[in-house]
Amino acid sequence: MRIWITGVLALAGWVAAGMAGAQDLMVEKKVFELPSFTTQSGRTLKQVRVGWESYGTLNADKSNAVLICHFFSGNSHAAGKYAASDAAPGYWDAIIGPGKAIDTDKYFVIASDTLVNLNTGDPKTTTTGPASIDPDTGKPYALDFPIVGIRDFVEVQKALVESLGIKKLALVAGPSMGSLQTFEWAASHPEMVAKAMPVIGAAEADAMLIGWLDVWAAPVLVDSNWNGGNYYGKAPPLAGLAKALAAVTLQANHQDWANATFGRRPAKEGDDPAKALLNRFQFQSVLDNAGAARAKVSDANHFLYLIKANQLFTAGGTSLADGMAKIRAPMLYITQPKDLVFTPDAVERTVKAAKDAGRDITHVTIDGSRGHLDGVMSMKQAEGAIRAFLAK
């Protein structure tokens, strides 16, 4: 989740640093609107809007559509650039594009923003959530916005897909929180998913993940500016959100990268951390600066709603076993053994549940020093496995 999260989890600058060789695929951001949408909780929302983009061309019988679901702190920008001057392409540009593993000369690839998307301050993100204006009151929803889950994200995507006349997806895929959406698609709408590719995720949020997500949320909840979620028009809880995003970034990475890149160097030459309480290590400073930068374009309530959606997740909405029993699509499951968000034991439970249910699952791993983030930054490694999977 850039996370992912759950997702997914990476900060834009770090993702960009891992993407070599920008591509020339040019894309346009669009907006999809539903006049009304009823959530799984039974609440009906008016004027639900999400951003989306596409790559490639939909064929005549509309059989070549692929859906990419984004990670926790991401948005629909999975590949290509909006302008040639963009610093970096979309997060999965290494595997999406002309001649790439998910070949846009063959496939029509769709990606959309989720409900309660984190990036409310990004002009290239469109989402409906607590920061949105409630048409009935003319004021931001704040915590009056209903609880939404991964299934709600999927149902909005389904409406978008169906609005394009697409009845079946050749592939649904995504990293971290995108993998949760992929599992949910396959379990809840098996007739619409030909193949599924969940990456750096699991088919259920286990107790430890629920607990870690609570740790992520804590700095926001103790920031006095959060004010019970009623901060719109006032000073937002930027300090708490910045610390929360720093925690996300820490867990999305791995000690191999942290130790090799920063070690125990002080944040400022000559300011020995042993000499004063407020003297810091370089890695502390980097995490805080990254969190603060990201907080400026994010919304704290959206962050909390995303956490709740991830905590509530079980594919199919029942149990891990029942969810796997509903899936019909062959799955290519890609994980990173050093992942500190979706840990090896969670991955093993997912694989076991799939096999116990008689599902067609191929499990491959990727390497790297970034842990969870390798599922965003190191996907080129999986190119051969993806090509073989799609060719079956």
Q: Which residue pairs, CB below 8 angstroms and at least 24 apart, start in 36-45?
A: 37/155, 37/156, 37/159, 39/146, 39/147, 39/148, 39/152, 40/148, 40/149, 40/151, 40/152, 40/155, 40/317, 41/146, 41/147, 41/148, 43/146, 45/128, 45/146
CATH of the domain at 46: 3.40.50.1820
94: tokens are 């290494």
DSSP H or E stretch at residue 335: strand 331-335
Q: Is residue 63 domain-resident?
A: yes
Distances (CA, A) of 334 to 77, 178, 345: 20, 12, 14
- pLDDT (average), residues 225-246: 98
Look up residue 134 and give its amino acid. Answer: D
Q: Do the Cβ atoms of 66 and 52 come closer than 8 Å?
A: no
User: What is the per-residue pLDDT for 324?
Assistant: 97
pLDDT one-digit tens code per residue, 246-286: 999 999 999 999 999 999 999 999 999 999 999 999 999 99
Residues with Cβ within 8 Å of residue 101, at least 6 apart in sequence: 95, 382, 383, 386, 387, 390
Query: Tokens 């997060």 sit at which residue?
Result: 91
Q: 90-103, pLDDT tens digit by residue?
A: 999 999 999 999 99
Spatial contact of 39 and 152, defined as CB atoms under 8 Å apart: yes
In this structure, the strands spanning 30-38 and 108-112 are unpaired
Q: What integer pLDDT is reported at residue 84 of this predicted model?
A: 94
Residue 19 has pLDDT above 90, yes or no: no
CA angle 19, 23, 25 (to 5 degrees): 130
> Residue 362 — pLDDT band, cuts 50, 70, 90?
very high
Secondary structure E strands in 39-179 = 44-55, 65-68, 96-97, 102-103, 108-112, 171-175
Question: Residue 194's pLDDT is what?
Answer: 98
Give the model's pLDDT for residue 254: 98
23: containing domain: 12-204+314-391
Domain contains 241: no
pLDDT band at 17 (very low <50, low <70, confident <90, very high): very low
Contact criterion met (CB below 8 Å) for 102 and 334 = no
54, 153, 179, 372 from 6: Cα distances, Å: 23, 13, 8, 10
- Collapsed DSSP state (helix, strand, coil) of residue 53: strand
Cβ atoms of residues 340 and 254 within 8 Å: yes
**Whether residue 69 has pLDDT greater than 60:** yes
Give the residue from 1, 94, 74 showing the smallest Cα distance to 377: 94
Q: Is 304 a member of any domain? A: no
Helix or strand run (H / E) with residue 282:
helix 282-295
Give the model's pLDDT for residue 58. Answer: 98
Q: Give a yes or no: residue 142 inside a domain.
A: yes
Question: In this structure, which long-range contacts are made by residues 84-87, counting pairs with CB atoms below 8 Å and at least 24 apart in sequence?
Answer: 84/24, 84/26, 86/22, 87/16
- pLDDT score at 16: 39
Q: What is the band of 226 on the pLDDT scale with cuts at 50, 70, 90? A: very high
Residue range 239-251: average pLDDT? 98
The pLDDT of residue 4 is 35
- Which DSSP letter does residue 318 get? S
Active site residues: 176, 339, 372
Domain count, the chain: 1
| Residue 217: inside a domain | no
Mean local confidence (pLDDT), 161-172: 98
Q: Is the pTM of this model over 0.95?
A: no
> pLDDT above 70 covers what percent of the chain?
94
**End-to-end alpha carbon distance in the chain:** 28
**Residue 355 belongs to a domain:** yes
- Residue 82 forms part of a structural domain: yes
pLDDT at position 88 is 94
Considering the chain, what percentage of its residues have pLDDT values greater than 90? 94
Single out the residue of 71, 81, 63, 70 nearest to residue 24, CA to CA.
Answer: 81
Mean residue pLDDT of the chain comes to 94
Cα–Cα distance measured from residue 59 to residue 191, given in angstroms and rounded to the nearest whole number: 20
Predicted pLDDT at 9: 37
Q: Is the pLDDT of residue 297 over 90?
A: yes
* Residue 278, helix vs strand vs coil: coil
Is residue 162 a part of any domain in this protein? yes
Please count the other Cβ atoms lying within 10 Å of the Cβ belonging to residue 77: 27
**pLDDT at position 42 over 50:** yes
pLDDT band at 23 (very low <50, low <70, confident <90, very high): very low
Burial class from Cβ neighbours inside 10 Å (0-12, 13-18, 19+) for residue 204 reads buried
Phi, psi angle pair for 61, to nearest 5°:
-90, 5
Which whole number is the average pLDDT over 78-88? Answer: 96
pLDDT tens digit string along 88-135? Answer: 999 999 999 999 999 999 999 999 999 999 999 999 999 999 999 999
